[in-house]
Amino acid sequence: MTRFALPVPSERAVRALLACTALGLALAVVGSAAWTAAPLLGAAVLVLVLVDAGLAGALRGVEVAAPGEMAIGAAADVLVRVRLAGRVRAARVALAVDPRLAEGGRLEGDCVGDEARLRLRPSRRGTGQVSRVWVRWSGPLGLGARAAARAVEASVRVIPDLAGTRDPAIRTLLRQSQEGLIARRLKGEGTMFEALADYQPGMDRRRIDWKASARHATLYAKEYEVERNNQIVLAFDCSRAMCEPVAGMTRLDRMLNAGLAMAWVALKGGDRVSLFGFAGQVLLATPFGTGARDFHGLQVAAAGLDYGSGEANFTLALASLSARLQRRSLVVVFSEFTDPAGAELMLEALGRLVRHHRVVFVTMADEELEEIASARPEGIRIVAAAVSAGALLRQRALVHQRLRGMGIEVVEAAHRQVGTRLLDRYLAIRRAEGIG
- Please report which confidence band the pLDDT of residue 22 belongs to, taking 50, 70 and 90 as the band edges: confident
Write down the pLDDT at residue 187.
Answer: 45
pLDDT in tens, 250-265: 889 889 989 998 998 8
Quote the crossing angle between the two packed helices 251-268 and 295-303, to the nearest 10°: 170
For residue 183, pLDDT over 50 is answered with no
Residue 1 belongs to a domain: no
Residue 175 belongs to a domain: yes
- Cβ-contact 246, 211 below 8 angstroms: no
Nearest C-alpha neighbor of 335 from the set 246, 423, 251: 251
**Residues 128, 244 within the same domain:** no
| Most confident range, picked from 28-42, 141-155, 214-228 | 141-155
Write down the pLDDT at residue 6.
Answer: 67
- Please report which confidence band the pLDDT of residue 274 belongs to, taking 50, 70 and 90 as the band edges: very high
**Strands 6-9 and 144-159: what pairing?**
antiparallel
**Residues 201, 249 within the same domain:** no
What is the C-alpha separation between 207 and 52, in angstroms, rounded? Answer: 93
For residue 237, pLDDT over 50 is answered with yes
pLDDT in tens, 57-101: 778 888 899 898 888 878 889 999 988 887 788 888 999 998 888
Specify the number of domains making up the chain.
3
Q: Is 98 helix (H, G, I), strand (E, B) or coil?
A: coil
Q: Report the DSSP beta bridge partners of residue 41.
A: none
**Residues 236, 372 within the same domain:** yes
Write down the pLDDT at residue 37.
Answer: 67
**Residues 244, 109 within the same domain:** no
What size, in residues, is the chain?
Answer: 436
Q: For the chain, how are helix, strand and coil distributed in percent, rounded to 5?
A: 40, 30, 30
For residue 7, pLDDT over 60 is answered with yes
Residue 201 belongs to a domain: yes
- Cβ-contact 129, 154 below 8 angstroms: yes
Q: Is 305 helix (H, G, I), strand (E, B) or coil?
A: coil
Write down the pLDDT at residue 319.
Answer: 92
Which of 69-73, 281-285, 286-290 comes out lowest in average pLDDT?
69-73
Which of 27-36, 117-126, 332-341, 404-413 comes out lowest in average pLDDT?
27-36
Write down the pLDDT at residue 169.
Answer: 57
Nearest C-alpha neighbor of 374 from the set 355, 356, 357, 393: 393
Which of 109-113, 188-192, 225-229, 410-414 comes out lowest in average pLDDT?
188-192
Mean pLDDT, rounded, of the chain: 80
What is the C-alpha separation between 11 and 335, in angstroms, rounded? Answer: 54
**Residues 312, 257 within the same domain:** yes
What is the C-alpha separation between 312 and 327, in angstroms, rounded? Answer: 25
What is the C-alpha separation between 12 and 153, in angstroms, rounded? Answer: 34
What is the C-alpha separation between 297 and 283, in angstroms, rounded? Answer: 16
Residue ranges making up the domain that contains 268: 163-180+228-431
Question: CA-based angle 353:354:356, to the nearest 5?
Answer: 80
- What CATH number has the domain bearing residue 53? 2.60.40.10
- Please report which confidence band the pLDDT of residue 172 belongs to, taking 50, 70 and 90 as the band edges: low
Residue 341 belongs to a domain: yes
Write down the pLDDT at residue 360.
Answer: 95
Which of 134-138, 188-192, 198-202, 269-273 comes out lowest in average pLDDT?
188-192
Average pLDDT over residues 359-384: 84
Which of 225-229, 258-262, 408-412 comes out lowest in average pLDDT?
225-229
Nearest C-alpha neighbor of 291 from the set 261, 268, 259, 265: 268
Nearest C-alpha neighbor of 263 from the set 232, 236, 237: 232
| DSSP 8-state class, residue 72 | T
CB within 8 A of 120, min separation 6: which ones?
A: 66, 67, 70, 75, 76, 77, 78, 97, 101, 102, 107, 156
- What CATH number has the domain bearing residue 319? 3.40.50.410
DSSP assignment string, 1-24: ---S-EEEE-HHHHHHHHHHHHHH
Residue 149 belongs to a domain: yes
Residue 169 belongs to a domain: yes
**Residues 201, 314 within the same domain:** no
What is the C-alpha separation between 279 and 306, in angstroms, rounded? Answer: 10
For residue 234, pLDDT over 80 is answered with yes
What is the C-alpha separation between 238 and 47, in angstroms, rounded? Answer: 60
**Residues 426, 344 within the same domain:** yes
Write down the pLDDT at residue 223.
Answer: 61
**Residues 113, 140 within the same domain:** yes
Neighbours of 39 (CB within 10 A): 12
What is the C-alpha separation between 255 and 125, in angstroms, rounded? Answer: 13
Which of 319-323, 365-369, 415-419 comes out lowest in average pLDDT?
365-369
Write down the pLDDT at residue 178.
Answer: 42
Residue 436 belongs to a domain: no
| Most confident range, picked from 132-136, 161-165, 274-278, 340-344 | 274-278
Average pLDDT over residues 426-436: 79
**Residues 238, 318 within the same domain:** yes
| Most confident range, picked from 93-107, 185-199, 206-220 | 93-107
Establish how many alpha carbons lie within 13 A of residue 16's alpha carbon, considering only the half-sphere containing its beta carbon: 20
Query: What is the Cα Rg of the chain in Å?
Result: 33
Burial 211-238 (b: 16+ CB within 10 A, else e): eeeeeeeebbbbbbbbbbebbbbbbbbb
**Residues 144, 24 within the same domain:** yes
DSSP assignment string, 44-112: HHHHHHHHHHHHH-EEEEEEEE--SEEETT--EEEEEEEEEES--SEEEEEEEE-TTTSGGGEEEEE-B
Residue 426 belongs to a domain: yes
**Residues 87, 124 within the same domain:** yes
- Distance between alpha carbon 201 and the CA centroid of its chain, in Å? 53
| Most confident range, picked from 324-328, 367-371, 389-393 | 324-328
- Cβ-contact 87, 57 below 8 angstroms: yes
**Residues 213, 243 within the same domain:** no
